[in-house]
Structure 1
Amino acid sequence: MIRLFHVSDVHFGREDAAAIAWFDALVHAERPDAVVMTGDLTMRARRREFAAGLEWLQRLPVPVTVEVGNHDLPYWNLFDRFFRPYRRMGKVERMVERPIDLAGVAIVPLVTTARAQWRLNWSKGYVSRGALRRTLDLIAAVPENRLIFIAAHHPLIEADTHASAKTRRGADALDALAAAGADAVLTGHVHDPFDIAHDVDGRSIRMIGAGTLSERTRTTPPSFNEIRVADGRFDVVCRTMSPKPDEVLERERV
C-alpha cells in the first residue's frame, strides 16, 4: 500500500506549533511514501517565514513536493510580486512543483496562483492556459498503470466549505484533467477537508481538499489528509489533532 500525507496551509508566521510537532511526529513514526504540501507555506511571503518553512520541510524524512499558494507571493512589494515573485523562497524553490513518481502513483503539479487578475481579490484561484497545458503535457508523459494525482493550491470547483476559491477557468481545467486521465486533484486554500467526485463523460475525478496546520482554522481542528492507495484504488482519511478518531472522508458527488 502507498500512503501519502497531504498537508496544506501551514502559514509560517501564523503556524500552530503544536500542530506542526504533531504532524512531524507522525511523519517520523509512520514514514509515508511522500508528503504533498499544497500551498500557503507562509503567511506574508517574508524571508523569515520561508526560512522557517524550509527548516520544517527539511526535517521531513520522506520525498516532499510543494505548491505555491497565494500567501506565498509577495503581499506588499508589488515590484517583487510582478517581476521576481519567487525570489524570497530561496532553497524551498527546489521542492516547488516537483513531480513525484511512485510505484503506481504519479503526482503532477498545476499552478493556480496569479501575480495579478482582472478582479480586486487576487487571492482567488486562476488557471492559465499555459499552466494547464504544462500540466497536461506532464500527464501525457506519465507511464501507464499509474494513478495520477494533480497537486494545486486552489480547489478548481467550489466545495461546501466556509471559505471559497472562486477559481477562474477551474471547471474547464477539471474537465480537461479528467479527460487526460487524472484521478484526483489535491488542494488546500479553504482550510477545511473535503472529498468530491466530479463526473466528466462517464469518468470520475475527485477533488480532495486538506485542512490547515495553522492558527487560522475554520470548522475543522488542525488536520491533514492521509491518502491510502492499493490495487488501483484509494481512500482519503482526515486525521485531526483532536480526541475524535480519524475519519474516512465521504465522497460527495457533483
Structure 2
Amino acid sequence: MTRLFHVSDVHFGREDRAAIAWLDDLVHKEQPDAVIMTGDLTLQARRSEFANGLAWLQGLGVPVTVEVGNHDLPYFNLFERFFRPYRRFLSVEKMIETPLELAGVTIVPMVTTARFQWRLNWSKGYVSQGELAKTLALVRAARPGTRVFIACHHPLIEPHTRTSAQTHRGAEALQALAEAGVEAVLTGHVHDPFDIAHDVGGHQVRLIGAGTLSERTRDTPPSFNEIRIAPDGFSVKVRALTPAPDVRLPVEHVD
C-alpha cells in the first residue's frame, strides 16, 4: 500500500503554527511515501514567506512535490510576476511541478495559475492549451500499470465549497485527462476537503481537494488528506487538528 499526505494552502505568513508542528510530527512518525503540496505555500509571495516555507518542505524528510498556487506568484511586483514568477522557488526547483513515481501511482503536475488573465480576479484557475498538452504528454509517459493522479492548485470543476475556483477550460481539461486514463485530480485553493467522482464520457475521475494548514480556515479546521492506494482502489481520509477522530471522506458521485 502507498500512502500520500496531500496538503495545501499552508500560506506561510498566516500559517497555523500548531498545525504545521502537528503535521511535522505525523510525517516523522508515520513516514508517508510522499507529501503532495497543491499550492499556496505562501500568503503574499514574500521572500521571508518562501524562506520559511521552503525550509519546512526540505525538513520533512520524505519525497515532496509542490504545485504553484495563485498566492505564490508576485502580485504587486508586476516585473517579477511576468518575467520571473518562480524565482523564489529556485532553491527547491526539483520539487516544483515535478512528476513523482511511487509504488502503484504516478503523480503528474499541471499548472492552473496564470501570470495574467482577461478578467479582474487573477486568483482564479486557468488551464492553458500548452500546459494541458504538457500534462497529457507526462500522463502518456507514466509507467504502465500504475494509477495516474494529477496535482494542481485549482479544482477543475466547482465543488460544493464556500470558495470557488472558476477555472477557465477546467471542464475541457477534465475531459482530456479522463480520456487519457487519469483516475484522480488533487487540488487545493478552496480550503475545505472534498472527494467528488465525475463520470466523464464513461471514465470516472475523482476530484480530491485538501483543506488548509493556515489560519485562513473556512468550514473545516486545519487539515490534510491521507490517501491510501492499494491494487484494488484508493481511499481518502481527512485528518484534522481536532479531538474528534479522523474521518474517511465519502465519495460524492456526479454524472
Measured against the shorter chain, the TM-score band is: over 0.9
Note the aligned Cα RMSD (angstroms).
Answer: 0.7
Q: How much does 1:228 deviate?
A: 0.3
Equivalent-residue separation in structure 2 for 1:199 and 1:175 (angstroms)? 10
User: Pairwise mapping of residues 169-184 of structure 1 onto structure 2 (< 5 A)?
Assistant: 169-184=169-184
Q: Matched residues, percent identical?
A: 70
2:185 counterpart SS class: strand
The normalised TM-score by structure 1 is 0.99
Measured in 2, the distance between the counterparts of 1:135 and 1:118 equals 23
Q: Provide the residue aligned with 2:91 in structure 1.
A: 91
One-letter code aligned to 1:26: L
Matches within 5 A, 1:140-219: 140-219=140-219
Q: Which position in structure 1 is the counterpart of 2:129?
A: 129
Letter in 2 for 1:29: K
Per the TM alignment, residue 94 of structure 1 is displaced from its structure 2 partner at its CA by 2.5
**CA positional deviation for 1:155:** 0.2
* Cross-structure match for 1:71: 71
Cα deviation code 1:97-150 (max 9, x no counterpart)? 111101110000000000010000000000000000000000000121101010
Q: Residue 60 of structure 1 aligns to a residue in which SS?
A: coil
Unpaired runs of 5+ residues, structure 2, are none
One-letter code of the match for 1:87?
Answer: R
Q: Deviations over 1:55-96 (max 9, x none)?
A: 100111110000000000001001110111111223133210
Distance of 1:227 and 1:87 partners within structure 2: 31
TM, length-normalised to structure 2:
0.98
SS at match of 2:153: coil
Any idea what SS the aligned residue of 1:5 has? strand
Q: Does 1:224 align with 2:224?
A: yes
Q: Secondary structure of the equivalent of 2:6?
A: strand
The question of 1:62 aligning with 2:59 is answered: no
Deviation sequence 1:23-81 (CA, Å, 0-9, x none) = 00000000000000000000000111100011100111110000000000001001110
Mapped partners of 1:113, 1:155: distance in 2 = 11
**1:102 maps to amino acid:** L
* Runs of 4+ more than 2 Å apart: none
Partners of 2:232 and 2:129 in 1: CA distance: 30
Q: Which residue of 1 aligns with 2:236?
A: 236
Q: Give the equivalent residue in structure 2 for 1:245.
A: 245
* Residue aligning to 2:102: 102
Instruction: Confirm or deny: 8 A CA contact 1:11 1:214 kept in the other structure.
Output: yes
Q: Can you give the 5+ residue segments of structure 1 that lack an aligned partner in the other structure? A: none
Q: What letter matches 1:191 in structure 2?
A: H
> Distance between the aligned counterparts of 1:82 and 1:239, measured in 2?
37
SS at match of 2:204: strand
Deviation at 1:4, TM superposition (A): 0.2
